[in-house]
Each structure stands twice: as structure tokens, then as C-alpha cells.
Amino acid sequence: QVPLVESGGGLVQPGGSLRLSCAASRSISSIYAMGWYRQAPGKERELVAAIITAGTASTTDYADSVKGRFTISKDNAENTVYLQMNNLKPEDTAVYYCKWATVDRDYWGQGTQVTVSS
């Protein structure tokens, strides 16, 4: 498998911001979706944001808990996906994983810890 390398996690205060990055070590073709998941202790893993190919453009989707605060985006080369997280809350504390879905298989990042202090 081709690893996706995540970066940008860390410890922040409530109300702060972080920007997560997810980049592939090589070019990956036929990507139809890119997404960010998170899993907090004692909670189910949830999809928090996704970019999905739709027609001639892409569409985005967000979990209700992050709408208005998180933004998913890609760079112009479409080899990196980002998650801009603003107005962070303690409930956002989790390990965040990126996933790229292709026709053949899924690619996962190693996970990055985001901790919002209380």
C-alpha cells in the first residue's frame, strides 16, 4: 500500500485553530473521494468531512458537529488534502485519520492526535 502521511496535529486551547495535512508519497490515480475521520476515546469513529467527485466538480460534506467550523480542501495539484479546524472545542479531541478512496482500494493515513485542552 501507498502510505498517506498526516501532519498538523497537536495541543491547542479551546477556540484555537489547527490545519491538518494529508499527502501521498506518490501519485494516486482514480480518486473519487477524500475524507477525514476521527475517533475519540469511548466513541465510534465518525466521518467529519469529505470531498466527493460529482459531475464536473467536487462536492463537500460535513458532520453536523463540525459544520461552520471545519473546512476540507485540496491543493491545486490534488495530491494533498487539508482540514482547516477553527473554533476548536474539547469535544473535538480525537485521533484524526485521512482516507482516500479509489476504484481499486482505500488508502489511510497513520493518524494524528488533536487535543483541545479544557
Say if CB 34 and CB 74 are below 8 A apart: yes
User: If you average pLDDT over residues 23-50, what whole number do you get?
Assistant: 92
Nearest to 116 by CA among 7, 15, 6: 15
How far is Cα 91 from Cα 116, in angstroms, rounded to an integer? 8
User: Tens of pLDDT along 2-35?
Assistant: 689 999 999 999 999 999 999 998 888 888 899 9
Nearest to 9 by CA among 61, 75, 64, 85: 85
How far is Cα 51 from Cα 29, in angstroms, rounded to an integer? 15
23 burial class (0-12, 13-18, 19+ CB within 10 angstroms)?
Answer: middle
User: If you average pLDDT over residues 107-113, what whole number do you get?
Assistant: 96
Torsional sign, CA 71, 94, 75, 51: negative
pLDDT band at 1 (very low <50, low <70, confident <90, very high): low
Query: What cell numbers appear for 48 in the block?
Result: 467529519
Mean pLDDT (the chain) is 92
